[in-house]
Amino acid sequence: MKKNILILLFAILPILGVAQKDYKLVEESAKKKPEWCTSSPSKSYIFVKIEKAATIEEASSKAMNELLRKIAAAVAVQTEASDKSSMRYSERDGKVEYEENMESVIETKFAKLPALHGISLSKADVYWERFVEKKTKETAYDYYILYPFSVLDLQEITTAYEEHEKALNDKINGFRDDLEYTNDIDELMANINEMKSMMAEIGEGDTKYNALQNNISLYENVISNIYIDVVENNKGYMLVQLKHNDKVMKTKSLPQVKSVNGCSRDFTKKHSGNQIEINFNTFDCYEQDDNYVEVKFTFGKKRVVKKVLINL
């Protein structure tokens, strides 16, 4: 068995040798490679190395992304205690290890923070090397950066991140308050749309995503339980209002109104405070007929409909 494994390994090795590219160094950004490219940086710096990028632009872009990812990881460790549900890290032999999904969550959260706008490769020490693959003549770049990042810098970005998170939490809680106190259906619908946009930016895996999702469910439940209450119903005149439980709701929208059997016509509608006046002509209606008028509101995908038997 061991003999067969050795034969297989010897058979694969030549293939691996052929597949491995042979690069020749043809250009450097400095006459001498800086020592920091091969030595461990101090705690006040972040080191990034990108290998074999196709262009210098690609190498620079990848270096910037990796720098932001490492800052994200540092912030993740700083804030772990206050956000355990979306972050996990462990310590082994004095070295902190953190899960990739945790870093991604944090990076997504603060990627648009103003505090990150000041992070630029112009502040870093940069060194690069250009290689040419001997057989294919393809060009490739190795790119190194040493970015100054002190404990004070980390604290500043962490504080900005925490303030950003607090603002999001306050906004989410505000949505809950709006649901309890507002009687404006248009505001409820606008809040639903805003919360959906926030969910798209935050992404799944964050507790705030789940909180927003829960809020939307509560909002949609309220919308689904709104009904039309008929306040007055006289000949050619109807006064209606929207209600949720005992609370009178308001909206800028006007309902669609139509005669079920076709005898009523010339409908006009207007707001009267939080109620809606509907006037119409009943000249062609007879008492022995089922003279119903259908009143319909549409809020997003929800339709609120009531058929009202008109008085003659």
Q: Does domain 227-309 have CATH number 2.60.40?
A: yes
Q: Give me the pLDDT at residue 17, please.
A: 42
The three state secondary structure string of 36-84 is HHCCCCCCCEEEEEEEEECCHHHHHHHHHHHHHHHHHHHHHHHHHHHCH
For residue 35, give Cα distances in angstroms to 28, 50, 122, 269. Answer: 14, 17, 20, 80
Q: Are 280 and 263 in contact (CB under 8 A)?
A: no
Token pair belonging to 213: 């999702």
**Rounded (10°) CA dihedral 81, 96, 116, 69:** -120
What percentage of the chain carries pLDDT values higher than 70?
A: 80
When pLDDT is averaged across residues 48-68 and rounded to a whole number, the result is: 94
**Higher local confidence (pLDDT), 260 or 3:** 260
Q: Which contiguous run of DSSP H or E holds residue 35?
A: none
- Nearest CA-CA partner of 70 in 43, 91, 35: 43
Alpha helices (H) along 182-243: 185-202, 207-224
- Nearest CA-CA partner of 111 in 67, 54, 173: 67
Q: Please tell me the distance from the alpha carbon of residue 214 to that of residue 123, in angstroms, as a whole number.
A: 43
> Could you identify the residue written with the tokens 């259908």?
294
Q: Please tell me the distance from the alpha carbon of residue 86 to that of residue 197, in angstroms, as a whole number.
A: 20
The model's confidence at residue 16, banded by pLDDT at 50, 70 and 90, is: very low
pTM: 0.69
When pLDDT is averaged across residues 191-218 and rounded to a whole number, the result is: 90
Q: Give me the pLDDT at residue 3, please.
A: 46
**Higher local confidence (pLDDT), 287 or 53:** 53
Q: Please tell me the distance from the alpha carbon of residue 303 to that of residue 242, in angstroms, as a whole number.
A: 12
Residue spans per domain, the chain: 21-149, 158-224, 227-309
Q: Give me the pLDDT at residue 114, please.
A: 60
When pLDDT is averaged across residues 115-140 and rounded to a whole number, the result is: 89
Instruction: Report the greatest alpha carbon distance in the chain.
Output: 103
When pLDDT is averaged across residues 226-254 and rounded to a whole number, the result is: 95
Q: Give me the pLDDT at residue 196, please.
A: 96
Q: Give me the pLDDT at residue 107, please.
A: 53
Token pair belonging to 120: 């630029």
**Average pLDDT over the chain, rounded to an integer:** 83
- Nearest CA-CA partner of 235 in 203, 197, 278: 278
Q: Which contiguous run of DSSP H or E holds residue 260?
A: none
Q: Are 305 and 230 in contact (CB under 8 A)?
A: no
- Nearest CA-CA partner of 47 in 71, 29, 75, 80: 71
Q: Is the pLDDT of residue 82 over 50?
A: no
Task: Give the three-state DSSP class for 2.
Answer: helix
When pLDDT is averaged across residues 228-235 and rounded to a whole number, the result is: 94
Among 96-100, 199-203, 301-305, top mean pLDDT goes to 301-305
Predicted confidence (pLDDT) per residue in 289-299, tens digit: 778 999 999 99
The model's confidence at residue 284, banded by pLDDT at 50, 70 and 90, is: confident
> Could you identify the residue written with the tokens 């355990």?
84
For residue 137, give Cα distances in angstroms to 14, 21, 224. Answer: 22, 11, 66
The model's confidence at residue 119, banded by pLDDT at 50, 70 and 90, is: confident
Q: Which contiguous run of DSSP H or E holds residue 199?
A: helix 185-202
Q: Please tell me the distance from the alpha carbon of residue 51 to that of residue 48, in angstroms, as a whole number.
A: 10
Q: Give me the pLDDT at residue 115, please.
A: 63
Q: Give me the pLDDT at residue 203, please.
A: 79
The model's confidence at residue 223, banded by pLDDT at 50, 70 and 90, is: very high
Q: Is the pLDDT of residue 95 over 50?
A: no
What percentage of the chain carries pLDDT values higher than 90?
A: 55
> Could you identify the residue written with the tokens 């549409």?
298
Token pair belonging to 93: 């032999």
Q: Please tell me the distance from the alpha carbon of residue 68 to that of residue 74, in angstroms, as a whole number.
A: 10
Q: Is the pLDDT of residue 5 over 80?
A: no
Residue 105: Cβ within 10 Å count: 22
